[in-house]
Structure 1
């Protein structure tokens, strides 16, 4: 699958390089440095080894809302900080282009699910390009990854890590669904740190089927769903005709594109459990301990009027709608950057208006920045972003520089490139 076009990122290496960032790792419940010596990396002595970044993509049944945008902008900043520190980045992202929510929306709207997915994937790409998010080098849908995912499921079955549950309502008599046996996953629960009671409380609402008869454990995740009437399905050697469960797609796509033991698994905070928990233990069942992400990093929720912004609730502020209304995408990006990724917040019209005013002030003020002011700005922004991506403080540092209006303009280019390279804001 083709991703969107990446923006050009200015090279600041003539002015030194940034330091490896510290970010919050959900699995450790604390900060971790994304640099040499991270965990027990085989590349610990190579500060320029590529960083592997995997961020879970969209299920394309509706347009990009601010919760999505906040997630992808956060990891775009991380991408930029790693590049500025001299580390190439291998970035991969999936698209869940066949799943129940997509099929249900397509049926509701009377549209072929493939056409709905194609439309929304294209719109998402347009939104990401407008927000100047660096595109993933590995951008892959479930449909085009079917062979790899099916091979992973077969391997889990062959090893005894997975088991079959008869599917009496399947299209083909005698078919079975396939589940992971969590009893064989000793590290299950380490990513989220949740109790079993906490997991069961949300599992059904987050795509699980705890009440499915025949499962060995209510929390065991679906790996392969045998074909039902009216559902899309694929033929796969050694499996019944069917399609993958949700979590196994990311396990296989991430490893296919980044290899085992990559640096960061990212996404929204609602993916900590079950999605990232399950993705990780499935990888370890396939490839052994330590074979998935070293760090799990999550964007907090964005709300509207006190409620989580979500497609299911319909309380959405859409990037595409604001763009159609003539809002500068850089103002949208500034709203997102003005909130730390680990702090939940609500979108407001006032926040957008403030961001528009800030953007206008920066574009006017950058022409007056002196060389010394620009150099100081670069040092400050690098330092702030390396400290758990403190984007609100970085914006404040840019405010102080741009609004001084007492320079001679000799640092305008460096100031502009600093804001572009590290924050992704084009002035």
Structure 2
């Protein structure tokens, strides 16, 4: 089945034709490791994890190479070290492991390579030397800068901007040593209190953009298949990656296909600490939101559309997953459903794929549901501990009470008293009794993580 992907570079959906089907290569920009990953950081991880799974399914697990980097040299890290009194190495080591643990809780597979920027400083220095030698970079006051004017014919194509327009609207540092306001730093000097490495231009450290170009070249070559990341990276980061990579290695294409996911909102607003709606992944996990639920909510929206995280969506996802897990418990997965796979191959239509999973459940194709959900990283054993904890059998007394409430709710809906029906559903959810409606009736399951579980007295 042909995979089709929306290529940011061409602005259209295209059949995916890998350079070498025996080694399909993908690079995704990873985190700067100085703190916990917030909810927005997790969206590209889940998006490209699904693509990784799809590529492995299509071409074979041994024929896909996935690289996602860690930025462990950065001014934010330096500032965190200065304010905390801890060493940079201690901070980056700890936060790197935090990131891996939190993403594993979301069901994300680890990439084949997870290079750290500090492990590739010699490769960055070598690439900078090549750029200087080819007239695409220059040294000025201890800095090395990429000369945008040396590649005006290509700069801006990804983001669809001309150099002149970018200069007119630029919010960049216009240092006196820059020949052009758009020139960007490849290397900068480091004082004694900052991390630094010896180079032909003195002791210093790399700029942000050069690390991805150097690591991608080292691990994937001068041309590879897919480069991904959030659309906030399109300019300037990805634009600068293309410029320096294509100028250093003009014989290659760098990345053939560019994929960008849209940003995340919380309850309809941009996530912001000032608005009080800023969450890390760990915050939600510690509040009792299972990682699988977070993943489900992410995948319910197409990756190229803004995604709105809401508490209501999380509750709905949890109820659905409990229903599905109960249905497939003890069932051996069969084959991945062809229609679900077709939807996934259509530019990662995860929302459509989830709709198809609902249909498989209604059709009672539980083997197909288990196998197909697995393609999305759902319903696997590793992420199912939360369900096993809340799926204990309820007592007969509890069953009778819950069924009475469900009957009252059904009667309210029959009388079109939807406010009462919703109130009953919400009341039961507040004491850990989760309802799930379907054409066949109403199912329910217990949430043993709720401290009020079964406390019907709290409803009186």
| Structure-2-length-normalised TM-score | 0.77
Counting only pairs closer than 5 Å after superposition, residues 15-414 of structure 1 correspond to structure 2 as: 19-35=1-17, 41=19, 43=20, 48-87=21-60, 88-166=63-141, 176-185=142-151, 186-196=153-163, 199-200=166-167, 204=171, 208-209=172-173, 211-236=174-199, 238-288=200-250, 290-309=252-271, 315-366=277-328, 378-404=337-363, 407=364, 412-414=366-368
Alignment correspondent of 2:437: none
Tell me the distance in 2 between the aligned counterparts of 1:311 and 1:164. Answer: 39
Cα deviations by residue, 1:305-354 (Å, 9 ceiling, x for unpaired): 54433689884222112222332211111011011100012211111111
Contact 2:300-2:354 within 8 A present in 1 as well = yes
SS of corresponding position for 1:316:
coil
Instruction: Please tell me whether the aligned partners of residues 333 and 425 of structure 1 are also in contact (alpha carbons under 8 angstroms).
Output: no
Q: Which has the higher contact order (CA 8 A, sep 6+)?
A: 1
- Count of residue correspondences: 378
Q: Which runs of 5+ in 1 are unaligned?
A: 1-18, 167-175
Which range moves more in the overlay, 125-134 or 313-322? Answer: 313-322
SS of residue paired to 2:254: coil
Structure 2 unaligned blocks of 5 or more: 385-460
Whole-angstrom distance in 1 between the partners of 2:309 and 2:168:
28
With over 3 angstroms needed to count, the CA separation of the structure-2 counterparts of 1:312 and 1:245, relative to structure 1, is farther
More off after superposition, 355-364 vs 195-204: 195-204
Q: 1:134 to 1:306 in 2, by over 3 A?
A: same
**Contact preservation (8 Å) 1:32, 1:295:** no
Larger radius of gyration: 2
- What is the alpha-carbon root mean square deviation over aligned residues? 2.4
Q: 2-side partners of 1:86 and 1:276: how far apart?
A: 27
Could you say which structure has the higher helix fraction?
Answer: 2
Kindly provide the CA deviation profile for residues 19-43 of structure 1, in whole angstroms up to 9, marking residues without a partner as x.
Answer: 232111111111122225xxxx4x4
Q: Deviations over 1:342-376 (max 9, x none)?
A: 001221111111111111111123359899xx66x
Identify if the C-alpha distance between structure 1 residues 422 and 305 changes in structure 2 by more than 3 Å, giving closer, same or farther: closer
CA contact (8 A) 1:24 1:32 kept: yes
Q: d(CA) in 2 for partners of 1:363 and 1:164?
A: 60
| Cα distance, 1:81 vs structure 2 | 1.0
Q: Is the 8 A contact 1:361 1:402 kept in 2?
A: no
| Corresponding position of 2:447 | none
Among residues 353, 364, 374, which one is paired with 1:420 in the alignment? Answer: 374
Matched position secondary structure for 2:353: helix
Question: Residues of 2 paired with 1:262 and 1:364: CA distance?
Answer: 42
